[in-house]
A and B are shown apart, each in its own frame.
Chain A
Amino acid sequence: QKEVEQDPGPLSVPEGAIVSLNCTYSNSAFQYFMWYRQYSRKGPELLMYTYSSGNKEDGRFTAQVDKSSKYISLFIRDSQPSDSATYLCAMTNMDSNYQLIWGAGTKLIIKP
């Protein structure tokens, strides 16, 4: 079993829809949670960074961490065709020397 599970998709939704992307993990010690966006043939770029549990909002993006369920989510409101990309979750903690553990990424397609 992988430490971080993420549905590879693709997930296809119409423009303007609310998108929900998710990751589950097995190591309850993870404390830092990240979402990266990766366009085709480009390097990933950081979207959201969350410590411990709770919600964090940045514009159209909301990151949610539920440590009791070992489940993190990224919500995208008013989705745009430019949001079409692969979304990668990553997480870490002190015990892993802060090395990031990555999900496989979910490919998201926003249809105009």
Chain B
Amino acid sequence: DGGITQSPKYLFRKEGQNVTLSCEQNLNHDAMYWYRQDPGQGLRLIYYSQIVNDFQKGDIAEGYSVSREKKESFPLTVTSAQKNPTAFYLCASSKGTAETQYFGPGTRLLVL
């Protein structure tokens, strides 16, 4: 089955800790995205990548980092600089930047 997988489903972070969220797709899509969703708010773009080894900051990139070493993988690291990381994180991919975005099931990040 083609699709997008995210892991883990739930993630707990301690103060001062960096954590990495996984996103993998087997749709052969060029573009991948990371969004943050908070209650009562729309999705906010953290980072996106249009091709391998290239990525751009979105609206709320501070405190986050990404890499795109393989076409199918786009991991997101939430660093200790992100002071309010509790949120639902969604990864998406699309054939190109103007194409429909398909979403993974999400990772819920909680702070201990």
Contacts and interface: CB of A to CB of B under 8 A. Distances in A.
Interface of A: 4, 6, 8, 32, 34, 36, 41-46, 49, 88, 90, 92, 94, 97-105
Contacts of A49: 100
A32 B107 CA distance: 28
A100 B102 CA distance: 12
B42 A43 contact: no
B102, B103, B105, B108 — which one has the most chain A CB atoms within 10 A of its CB?
B103
A44 B98 contact: no
Given A44-B90, A46-B100, A99-B58, A104 B41 contact: yes
Contacts of A42: 105-106
Nearest to A97: B97
Interface residues of B, number: 23
Which 6 A-B pairs rank lowest in CB-CB distance, beginning with the nearest? Answer: A102-B42, A43-B103, A98-B98, A98-B97, A102-B43, A104-B42
B45 A46 contact: no
B42 A88 contact: yes
Interface in B85-112: 88, 90, 92, 97-98, 100-106, 108
A100 B42 CA distance: 11
Given A42-B106, A43-B106, A49-B100, 5 more contacts: A4-B42, A88-B43, A90-B43, A103-B42, A104-B40
B105 A43 contact: yes
Contacts of B74: none
A25 to B, nearest CB: 12
Contacts of A4: 42
B48 interface: yes
Nearest to A45: B103
A43 B40 contact: no
B89 to A, nearest CB: 10
Nearest to B108: A41
Interface in B34-59: 40-45, 48, 58
